Amino acid sequence: MADKFVIAASAAEAAALRDGDSAFLAGGTEINRLGSSVDAGTLISIGRIAELDGVSIQEDCVRIGAMCTFQDIVENKDVPQFLKDACLFMGSRTKRNMATIGGNVALGRTDSYLCATLLACHAGIILRDAEGTSIRRCVKGYLEDRAQYSDMLIEALLIPGDAVVVSKRYSNTVQSHAVLTVSAGLSGGLLRIAVAARDTYLGLLPEISTAIAGAEKPLSDEAILKLVNGCPQLAFRQDMFGSPEYKRYLLAVTIADLVAKVRGGEA
Amino acid sequence: MDMKICFKLNGKDVSVTTDPLRRLIDVLREDFGCKGVKEGCSEGECGACSIILNGKMVTRCIIPVGAADGQEIMTIEGVSATEKGQTIVQAFADGGAVQCGFCIPGMVIAAYCLLNGNPDPTEDEIRLGISGNICRCTGYDLIVESIRLAAKRGGDIWKK
Ligand SMILES: Cc1cc2nc3c(=O)[nH]c(=O)nc-3n(C[C@H](O)[C@H](O)[C@H](O)COP(=O)(O)OP(=O)(O)OC[C@H]3O[C@@H](n4cnc5c(N)ncnc54)[C@H](O)[C@@H]3O)c2cc1C
Ligand code: FES
Ligand code: FES
C-alpha cells in the first residue's frame, strides 16, 4: 500500500524518482484498484508530462505517447485501425478513458489487451532510464527482458508505418479476462504471430511464423496444430477456460484464420 | 504527508488539505458531501462511482485525490442540477429505468456524456455509451429506452 505521492514534472524527473519501492501512476486502473497486482510505497504521478502525450506521424512510424489512453487511440485519425481494434478489446468506455498504452505494456500481462498486437506489428518502444538517457528497443525485447527495464519510464510506442495486423481475443464476456489473444502481423516483409495466453505465455511464436512463412502452400489447421503442440512455451493448464487440448486447438485454428486474413489484405 | 489539493467541483473552485493517496471517491463523499455516487466493486469495473473528469467519464474509486489537483470534476450532483441532467433524470423516471437505483447515478453520468457528444444516438451507440456501467437489476432495455427518450425530449439542448 502506497504511503507517498509525488507529481513528476518531466520524463527525466519521473525516471530519476523511480526505485524498487515505487510505481508510476498513469491511468491508475491497475494500481488503485482493490486487489491490485502492483505493490509500491511511492506513487509517481506521470499525468502532467507533455513528452508522454499525443500521437504524431514520424518518418517510418506513428509515435504514440505512453500516457495516451485507449480511448485517445480509438479516436485518433493517425493510429492504424488494427491498434484501435485492440484497444476496443477493453469493453468499458469508462475504463478506456483512463487506461494508458504505457501502463498496459508495462504490466505485460498474459491476458494483455494490446501486447499481442504490438508484438505482431513489431512495435518499438522508447524508454527513459534513471540517468535521463533515452533508449530505443522493440516491444519484443522489452517484454522478454522486463526485469532489466522495469524501473524505466516508457515514453512512447512506435508503430511501423507499413504494419498490418489482425487480432482476435477470446473471453467469456467482453468484461472478462481473455483466455487467448492472438495476432498475425506483416511488417518489413516478415510474418509475425504473437499470443497472449492467460497464465501461460506472452510473446511471439517464431517457430510457427517461420514454418508458415516458408511453406509453399497455406498450412492446414492440422499442420498448424502440430506446430502449436511442438511449442514448449505453450504449456497450457486445465482451468475454468478449458482444457490444454482445447486451447491448443483454438490457437491453431485462429492462427490459420488470422494468417489467411492478414495475407489476403483483410487487415 | 498531507497536501493541499485544488480542483473545480461542479463549477466551483474548491481545495482540501489531505493525504493525496486518499481515494477521490472518499474525499468527494466525506469531505464534500457528494453522496450521490455509489461504490460498487471498488475496482473500476461496475461504473457505479462514475464522475466526469475534464469532460470525460471516469471511475473515481480508482483515482487518488492527489491526481485530481488542478482538474475539473463534475459529479452526479452537478449534472442533475443542469437542464440536461434534469432531462435525463426525468426520462429515467418516466421510462421505468430504475429498480434498486444503485447503478443509476453512474448511468445518468454515462447518458449525459453520450448525449453531449452524440445528440441522436442509435441503440448500439447507447449500449456502447453505457458499456462501462453494470446494472444488476434491469436488463438494460428500459435504461436504453430512457436515454432515447431523453435524447428526443432534450432536442436542441444536446447541441449546446
Ligand atoms: C477490473 C479490471 C480488469 C482488467 N483486465 C485487464 C485485462 O484483461 N488485460 C489487461 O491487459 N489489463 C487489464 N487490466 C489492467 C489495466 O486496466 C490495463 O492493463 C491498463 O492498460 C493499465 O494502464 P494504466 O494506465 O491504468 O496503468 P496504471 O494502473 O497507472 O499502472 C500500472 C503499472 O504500469 C506501470 N506504468 C504505467 N505507466 C508506465 C510508463 N509510462 N512507464 C513505465 N511503467 C508504467 C506502473 O508503474 C504500474 O506498475 C484490468 C484492470 C481492471 C481494474
Ligand atoms: S465502484 Fe468504481 S467502478 Fe465499481
Ligand atoms: S437498477 Fe439496480 S443495479 Fe441498476
DSSP label at residue B158: G
Output the 3-class SS for A201-222.
Answer: EEEECHHHHHHHHHCCCCCCHH
ipTM: 0.86
Say if the Cβ atoms of A97 and B131 lie within 8 Å: no
Q: Are residues A75 and A30 in the same domain?
A: no
Name, in order, each residue with C-beta under 8 angstroms of A12's C-beta and a sequence gap of 6 or more.
A128, A132
- Residue A174 is predicted with a pLDDT of 79
Q: What is the pLDDT of residues A4-25, one digit of tens each?
A: 999 999 999 999 999 889 999 9
Q: Are residues A171 and A217 in the same domain?
A: yes
State mean pLDDT over A135-151.
95
Q: What are phi and psi of A174, to 5 degrees?
A: -65, -25
CATH code: domain of residue A70: 3.30.465.10
| A227 neighbors A208 (Cβ within 8 angstroms) | yes
- Residue A266 is predicted with a pLDDT of 64
Q: Which of A160, A176, A202 is the last residue of a domain?
A: A160
- Residue A47 is predicted with a pLDDT of 92
- Cell numbers of B70, please? 488542478
- Residue B119 is predicted with a pLDDT of 95
- The pLDDT-based confidence of A257 (bands split at 50, 70, 90) is very high
Q: What distance lies between CA B20 and its chain's CA centroid?
A: 22
- The pLDDT-based confidence of B159 (bands split at 50, 70, 90) is confident
- Residue A267 is predicted with a pLDDT of 59
Say if the Cβ atoms of A95 and B21 lie within 8 Å: no
Q: What distance lies between CA A50 and its chain's CA centroid?
A: 23
Q: Which of A160, A179, A210 is the last residue of a domain?
A: A160
Alpha-carbon torsion (B75, B129, B120, B95), positive or negative: negative
- Which residues are registered as beta bridge partners of A183? A167, A194
| A19 neighbors A6 (Cβ within 8 angstroms) | no
Ligand 3-lining residues (CB < 6 angstroms): B 98-104, 135-138
Q: How far lies A181's CA from each of A36, A99, A198, A266, B107, in Å?
A: 22, 18, 9, 18, 30
End-to-end CA distance of chain B: 43
**Interface membership of A25 toward B (CB under 8 Å):** yes
| B4 neighbors B19 (Cβ within 8 angstroms) | no
Position A2 pLDDT exceeds 90:
no
Tally of CB atoms within 10 A around A264 = 9
Q: Are residues A208 and A258 in the same domain?
A: yes
- The pLDDT-based confidence of B43 (bands split at 50, 70, 90) is confident
- Write the DSSP string, A105-157: HHH--TT-SSHHHHHHTT-EEEEE-TT--EEEEEHHHHHHTHHHHTTSEEEEE
Question: In 3D, which of A155, A140, A137, A135 has the Cα closest to residue A63?
Answer: A155
Q: Which of A132, A160, A188 is the last residue of a domain?
A: A160
Which of B21, B62, B110 is opposite residue A43, by nearest beta carbon?
B21
* Ligand number with the minimum distance to the CA of A127: 1
- Residue A20 is predicted with a pLDDT of 84
Which of B57, B67, B133 is opposite residue A28, by nearest beta carbon?
B67
Q: What is the pLDDT of residues A70-99, one digit of tens each?
A: 999 999 999 999 999 999 999 988 999 999
Q: What is the pLDDT of residues B145-155, one digit of tens each?
A: 999 999 999 98
Position B82 pLDDT exceeds 90:
yes
- Cell numbers of A160, please? 511501423
State mean pLDDT over A148-169.
97
Q: In CATH terms, are B3-75 and B82-159 the same topology? A: no
State mean pLDDT over B131-139.
93
Output the 3-class SS for B39-79.
Answer: CCCCCCCCCCCEEEECCEEEEHHHCEHHHHCCCEEECHHHH
C-alpha dihedral over B124, B125, B128, B129, to 10 degrees? Answer: -140
Q: Are residues A129 and A171 in the same domain?
A: no
Angle at B117 between CA B88 and CA B156, to 5 degrees: 60
- Write the DSSP string, A231-263: -TT-----BTTB-HHHHHHHHHHHHHHHHHHHH
State mean pLDDT over A129-158.
96
Ligand 1 atom closest to the Cα of residue A30 is 29
Q: How far is the CA of A190 from the centre of ligand 2 (A)?
A: 43
**Where in the sequence is the domain holding A248, given as residue range(s)?**
165-263
Amino acid at B4: K
Residue A186 DSSP SS3: strand
Q: Are residues A26 and A56 in the same domain?
A: no
State mean pLDDT over B50-69.
90
- Residue B47 is predicted with a pLDDT of 93
Instruction: Please report residues of B whose CB lies closer than 8 A to that of A46.
Output: none
| A11 neighbors A51 (Cβ within 8 angstroms) | yes
Q: Are residues A202 and A133 in the same domain?
A: no
Amino acid at A207: E
Q: What is the pLDDT of residues A166-210, one digit of tens each?
A: 999 999 887 788 999 999 999 999 999 999 999 999 999 999 999
Tally of CB atoms within 10 A around A100 = 26
CATH code: domain of residue A197: 3.30.390.50
| A219 neighbors A211 (Cβ within 8 angstroms) | yes
- Residue B5 is predicted with a pLDDT of 95
Percentage of chain B surpassing pLDDT 90?
Answer: 85
Say if the Cβ atoms of B41 and A93 lie within 8 Å: no
Q: How far is the CA of B28 from the centre of ligand 3 (A)?
A: 22
Q: Which class is domain B3-75?
A: alpha beta
Position B61 pLDDT exceeds 90:
no
Question: In 3D, which of A260, A205, A196, A210 has the Cα closest to residue A228?
Answer: A205
- Residue A264 is predicted with a pLDDT of 87
CATH of B82-159, one of 3.30.930.10, 1.10.150.120, 1.10.580.10, 3.40.50.80: 1.10.150.120
Q: Are residues A105 and A142 in the same domain?
A: yes
- The pLDDT-based confidence of A1 (bands split at 50, 70, 90) is low
**Interface membership of B16 toward A (CB under 8 Å):** no
Residue A185 DSSP SS3: strand
DSSP label at residue A59: S
Q: How far is the CA of A54 from the centre of ligand 3 (A)?
A: 37
- Residue A168 is predicted with a pLDDT of 98
| A253 neighbors A220 (Cβ within 8 angstroms) | no
- Residue A243 is predicted with a pLDDT of 96
Question: In 3D, which of A50, A47, A52, A95 has the Cα closest to residue A71?
Answer: A95
Q: How far is the CA of A115 from the centre of ligand 1 (A)?
A: 12
The pTM for the full model equals 0.93
Q: Are residues A154 and A190 in the same domain?
A: no
What's the structural domain count of chain A?
A: 3
